Amino acid sequence: MSVSAKKDIEELHVPAQSVQQNSAAANNGFADWSDYRKIAFRIAFVFFLIMCIPGTPGWYKHLVSIDWTNIHYRDLYDICRFSNFQFVKMGPEARWGIGGYSNWGVTLLVAIAVGAIWSLLDRKSNNYEKLNYWLRVIVRYRAALGIIGFGFTKLLPVQMPYPSLGLLNTDLGDFSGQKIFWLSIGIVPWFQIYTGIVEVLAGVLLLFRKTTAWGAALLLGTLGTIAVVNIGYDGGVHVYASYFVLLSAFLLVYDVKKIYELLVLERVVRPVQRYYPAFKEKWQEYARRGIKAGLIAVFVVWFFYLQLLNFLYDPYKQPSAKGVTALRGNYQVTLFKLNNEEIPYSPLDTVRWQEVTFEKWSTLTYKVNKPVQLDLSNGGGDPMRDINRTFEVSGVGGGRRVFYYEADTIGNVLYLQDKNLATVAAEVGPGGIWDRRGRNQAEEKDPVYPENWIPSEALANIGDPVYKINARVVNTRRIRAFESEKPVKARRKMVLKYDTSDGSRIVLTGTDENRDSLYVVLDRIDRPYVLSESTLEAGSY
């Protein structure tokens, strides 16, 4: 470096803190802002504050109801993932396209109005460096927690499960676009872990002011891509992904200007001058460090542990209790009798089953050439009951029917219920999406099977499903959810007695969804897949 250039840089090199300490107290040592910048800041302050504060009573209710002594990963996840105040109530159709951003627009209008009033009232302030610091803290922590919550479900790969047998047997064209993308990540768990590491890393970088810019840049790139993915595949969460893009763009805006000056204009550049609070009292500094360390301990270390438990024993998108071990596998339907009448195999037959699977967990699927109303949801959420975990059926067509079963392993009887709630007419909301909130449970009644379709003796043999998974993940949230997730009474049902020695041949006898008598002989087949098996399996079955 030449002598003159070195001098150049030494003169410019005045650290922010010394500016702050040496200058007049009134301005915090910072230059006056232009009127334009002050007005813009007031609007931005109100806007981002509304965007970053939980705006639904549910979030606060959840926060106080958490049983910290017996916690579920989702308890932390729900702290991280919340919605800000919604000025416009949106229907399920708003999941698509730019309509989803309407709340941003209204929030901005509100911010402009409040910012205008503020501008009229506040004539004294020369700058908002201090307030800007605190706004950045709020945005940084909001973005950091949000992305960490998201990231952990990938870092311990449960967000996109490896396809079940039923999904492996389904033709590509019978999936929704959303399903295709989610599965394409699900088949490569190590890659999913990598994307999780990137997201969690971005979040952790945002927690420290020195690494904020790098975290924000990473977040911008990653979530920008995810927003486009959601638009491209109709994933339905482009607004939430864009939300992080917005937050990180806010954090980066002044740095980008500096980078532009440094790299493109090739100028000697001073860093953005920012206010940092200087804590005078020792307890203040301790409190700051304590709060930060506490947040990291809970939302990084503990969260990791809880998510690990979830990965090992209760992967949240797939059923977690194991199915009848002897039955697992792929089957061909050798014989099919309905009301004692044999129906020969034809791929076009609208009644006879084809390709049957018994999954590792308690699910039976079969294919039949008859259209059904499809579950077009993402198959996510936080259901605890295996019957409500619908990743294996949502976004899946091609005549694939998916039944959850409870097994009386003493009487060898399966009590099956359709996992696809769209087949219960009243369950389909606008947009074809099953809308849990809009459901009126009281009026439901099953016209086919009686209320006590599982005899009490069988119920005793089946046992309490709450405790059918590893004790370490039977936590308060799970126990509570088994009470609050009310059964949908009008689900399609079947009762099938199974008879098998080792699973190579299974004879099913009983009644189908119309309570017609069924006699099915299944023979296990070796169905090789070209797709490599997962090297990392979630759950224990």
Partner 1 sequence: MSFFENHDLFSSEWKGYEKALLRFFFLYFFIQVVPLDWKYYAQLLAIDWSNLYYGDLFNPSRYYPRFFSGGDTYANWVIAAFIAAVGAAAWGKYEKNLKAHPDYDNLYYWLRVILRYRLALGVITYGFLKVFLLQAPYPSLSSLNTGYGDFTAWKIFSLSLGAAPIYEVFLGVVEVTAGVLLLYRQTASVGAFIILCFTGNVFLSNLAYEGGESIYSLYLVVIALFLFAFDFKRLVRLLSLEKSVEPGRFKPDFSLNWLKNTRFALKGGFILVFVVIFGFRAYSGQQNNPHNIPTTPGLADAAGLYNVQEFILNNDTLAYSYTDSVRWKDVVFEPWATISVRSKRPVRLDSTDYEQVGYSDDEKSYELAGAAGRHYYSYEIDRKTNTLFLNNKNKHHADEKLVLRYTRPDLNTIILEGLNEKNDSVKITLERNHKKYLLIEGRRKPQKL
- What residues between 67 and 126 interact with partner 1 by CB under 8 A? 93, 96
d(CA 532, CA 474): 32
Indicate the SS3 state at residue 138.
helix
Q: Does 257 bind partner 1 (CB under 8 A)?
A: no
Q: Does 136 bind partner 1 (CB under 8 A)?
A: no
CB of 391 to partner 1, least distance (A): 14
The number of residues that bind partner 1 (CB under 8 A) is: 91
Q: Between 43 and 213, whose beta carbon lies closer to partner 1? A: 213
Burial readout 110-120 (b: 16 or more C-beta within 10 A, e: otherwise): bbeebbeebee
Q: Tell me, rounded to whole angstroms, the distance of Cα 483 from its chain centroid.
A: 23
Among 109, 113, 262, 536, binds partner 1 (CB under 8 A): 262
Identify which range of 71-79, 185-193, 307-315, 495-503 contacts partner 1 by CB under 8 A.
185-193
Q: Between 183 and 518, whose beta carbon lies closer to partner 1? A: 183
355-414 residues in contact with partner 1 (CB under 8 A) are 371-374, 376, 395-399
413-472 residues in contact with partner 1 (CB under 8 A) are 422, 428, 431-432
Q: Between 122 and 342, whose beta carbon lies closer to partner 1? A: 342
Give CB contacts under 8 A, 24+ apart, made by 433-440: 433/92, 433/95, 433/376, 433/377, 434/375, 434/377, 435/92, 439/488
d(CA 363, CA 417): 9
CB of 23 to partner 1, least distance (A): 17
Answer whether 104's CB lies under 8 Å from 447's CB. no
Q: Does 184 bind partner 1 (CB under 8 A)?
A: yes
Identify which range of 131-139, 256-264, 311-319, 510-518 contacts partner 1 by CB under 8 A.
256-264
d(CA 117, CA 527): 69
d(CA 296, CA 305): 13
Q: Between 120 and 531, whose beta carbon lies closer to partner 1? A: 531
Identify which range of 5-13, 289-297, 413-421, 500-508 contacts partner 1 by CB under 8 A.
5-13
Q: Between 497 and 527, whose beta carbon lies closer to partner 1? A: 527
d(CA 249, CA 51): 14
Identify which range of 26-34, 65-73, 268-276, 287-295 contacts partner 1 by CB under 8 A.
268-276
Among 122, 171, 342, 516, binds partner 1 (CB under 8 A): 171
d(CA 106, CA 51): 11
Alpha-carbon separation of residue 526 from 75, 297, 332, 529 (angstroms): 42, 48, 10, 10
Which residues, including other chains, have CB under 8 Å from residue 439's CB and lie 6 or more apart? Answer: 426, 427, 488
d(CA 152, CA 300): 9
Dihedral-angle region of residue 304 (phi above 0 means left; psi in -120 to 50 means alpha; beta otherwise): alpha
Q: How many CA atoms lie within 13 A of 134 on its CB side?
A: 7
Q: Between 54 and 431, whose beta carbon lies closer to partner 1? A: 431
Q: Does 168 bind partner 1 (CB under 8 A)?
A: yes
Among 170, 248, 320, 388, binds partner 1 (CB under 8 A): 170
301-360 residues in contact with partner 1 (CB under 8 A) are 332, 344-348
CB of 283 to partner 1, least distance (A): 27
Q: Does 233 bind partner 1 (CB under 8 A)?
A: yes
- CA-closest candidate to residue 377, choices 331, 436, 325, 319: 436
Q: Does 181 bind partner 1 (CB under 8 A)?
A: yes
CB of 128 to partner 1, least distance (A): 19
Q: Does 234 bind partner 1 (CB under 8 A)?
A: yes
CB of 168 to partner 1, least distance (A): 3
CB of 505 to partner 1, least distance (A): 14
Which residues, including other chains, have CB under 8 Å from residue 267's CB and lie 6 or more apart? Answer: 261
